[in-house]
Chain A
Amino acid sequence: MARAAAILRALGVAFRRDQKSFESIAGNNFFLITALLVGPAGGFIFLIIGLVMLFPLSTDPLRKIPASRLALWPLEKRDYWVLRIASPWVNPVSWLVVALAVWAARGKVTLGLWGLAAGLFAGAFLLSDLHVFSTESLWRLAPNFPGPLNQLIRKNIREMLSTLDFYCALILSICVLVYRLLGPPLPGEAFLAVTVLVVLALSSYAQCLFGLDGDGGLGRYRLLPLRGWQILAAKDAAYLMLTIPLTLPVAPLAGAGAALTALALGHGPTVRLRRDQTRWRFSTGASLVFGLIQAVAMAMAASAIYFTSSLVLLLCIAVWLGSLWHFGREIDRAEVE
């Protein structure tokens, strides 16, 4: 028991020092703008965030300990059980999820509901422990594309699929699809609002496109005989290929315009700030102000396309191309220290 307690204490210290789970929410457009604009009515959105954060790869504290290290420590079976049961509560995210569940279920809590929640929670950690959830086989399904950037685009798709932003947008998109199939008809404004919300969930990622490449990755990019704009284009292609399909249940043209606007503005912090990101976390954007500007621009582009003319999409494409060229040149001039 003393050994397990010592490990739990160390995990607690590690979690206090590593506040990336919370920081990533705090710097994420989707969370910030939902909190600012939707306010008390945003319970559903917050629950989606909570649900996504329950993702085993994001939440399990035992994954902080290298598997080889855990295997080398002289632990008894009982110690492993204690660690398995107690470690989730070292992570503040677990407490946040529980608090969200209590808040969302206030006044209508039944024993069965709590049982279901506890079962889901335990199931998520059990899956994590059994290593049933293997992403590698899924990653191999990334399709091939014509042209020399094929492997780069495939890599970028895999990177984007390992952020929580994508799954947040995916759940939103699925919810809307189910509602459209089974619920009463939605007004036009609702289509637009949900489209912007879906792209908003992915907009912070557009500000840190190199975040999962690491320093080694950036060095390799600079060694390849590619222009900066080509490197950025491979990033953008992956982004658009994952974002636009998510807007298909709502307003895809408006979604494409919003996504291109998010990228055009996101290239700046992507190239200049190069903020490292962590897998299975929400992406952290440049700043609240920049996030707001990006969100407003996306909403304007989407509504102009939706309410005025689809030709506005051409303007979005032109702005995106200009940004690609400009920030591509900055990549060409960048140094790798």
Chain B
Amino acid sequence: MISCRNLTRRFGEFTAVDRLSFEVPAGAICAFLGPNGAGKSTTVKMLTGLLAPSSGEVEVCGLNVQSDPLELKRRIGVLPEDLGLFDDLTVEEHLLLTGSVYGVNRQETRSRTDQLLHALSLEHGRNTFARSCSHGMRKKTAFAMALLHNPRVLFLDEPFEAIDPVTSRIMRDLLESIARHGVTVFLTSHILSVVEQIATELIMIRKGRIVWNSPTGELPQSLEQHYFDLVEAPVVEELEWLGPPRS
């Protein structure tokens, strides 16, 4: 469902993404992991047609991302890194906008909007303007926008960050249900405990290069330990000015 070969993106001298090649089958939940600045969001932008690759090829839903961007957009749903909400639209208006531009009829849009607002506990904020929403509400709105038109592939950039535990659980369950219906989910996240529970495929990148690519079941150790070993180990420094510990 998602296929890229030697995908590369350079910004001047800097290579953000370096010859990535991977495939994600239909119905998989693929977690794309790496530290900040590793090239995750740049990759997602190339997969969704927002950014042209410097070289390499990308296919999503059997479509070449570069040659058929409009058809691609109709088939995918995206939760972008910056959420991409409009300050001057309310939560509900964002969903109504999504329905009309993706060609979902008005009645169906209303019905799906109500269901999504209910499922994501957004009903109380349906008439709140995006600029007045909390970060969590904004994220849930962007998530609902990504789902409303029933896409075949879902790209989610850090969907679980800044989300309360209950909504996080609801989103996980929704994603698993969607994947069972054959929708491919491609997500980035820093919350490894959640990723470990829902992902069926794992790709780890570091400095724009893939350092691990396998089904989740093939991990040799816990995801967190494997991530620390392959991507980045935490270094904790004592802050001397805090003084001696008090028991």
Contact = CB atoms under 8 A, between A and B. Distances in A.
Q: Do A and B bind each other?
A: yes
Secondary structure class of chain A's binding surface, majority of residues: helix
B52 A335 contact: yes
Contacts of A225: 70, 73-74, 101-102
B80 A154 contact: no
B104 to A, nearest CB: 10
Contacts of A149: 100-101
Contacts of A18: none
Interface stretch (A89-97, A101-109, A209-217, A307-315): A209-217
B70 A216 contact: no
Nearest to B73: A225
Interface string A306-337: 00000000000000000000000000100111
B45 A155 contact: no
A224 interface: yes
A277 B129 CA distance: 19
Given A158-B88, A224-B73, A148 B101 contact: yes
Interface string B29-64: 000000000000000010011111000000000000
A222 B69 CA distance: 10
Nearest to B72: A225
Given A151-B89, A336-B45, A336-B51, A226 B101 contact: yes
A136 B129 contact: yes
Interface in B86-120: 86-90, 93-94, 96-97, 100-103
A150 interface: yes
A139 B101 CA distance: 22
A223 B89 contact: no
Nearest to A151: B97
Given A136-B129, A216-B83, A220-B84, A335 B100 contact: no
B30 to A, nearest CB: 19
A150 B88 CA distance: 13
A152 interface: yes
Interface residues of B, number: 33
A219 B52 contact: no
A84 interface: no
Contacts of B83: 216
Contacts of B84: 216-217, 219-220, 223
Nearest to A218: B84
B67 to A, nearest CB: 13
B26 interface: no
A219 to B, nearest CB: 4
29 contacts: A139-B88, A139-B129, A147-B100, A148-B100, A149-B100, A149-B101, A150-B96, A150-B100, A151-B89, A152-B97, A152-B101, A155-B86, A155-B93, A155-B97, A158-B88, A212-B87, A216-B83, A216-B85, A217-B85, A217-B86, A217-B87, A219-B82, A220-B84, A223-B48, A227-B70, A335-B52, A337-B11, A337-B45, A337-B51
Given A212-B88, A216-B80, A223-B84, 5 more contacts: A155-B88, A156-B88, A225-B102, A335-B50, A337-B45
Interface of A: 136, 139-140, 147-152, 154-156, 158-159, 162, 212-217, 219-220, 222-227, 332, 335-337
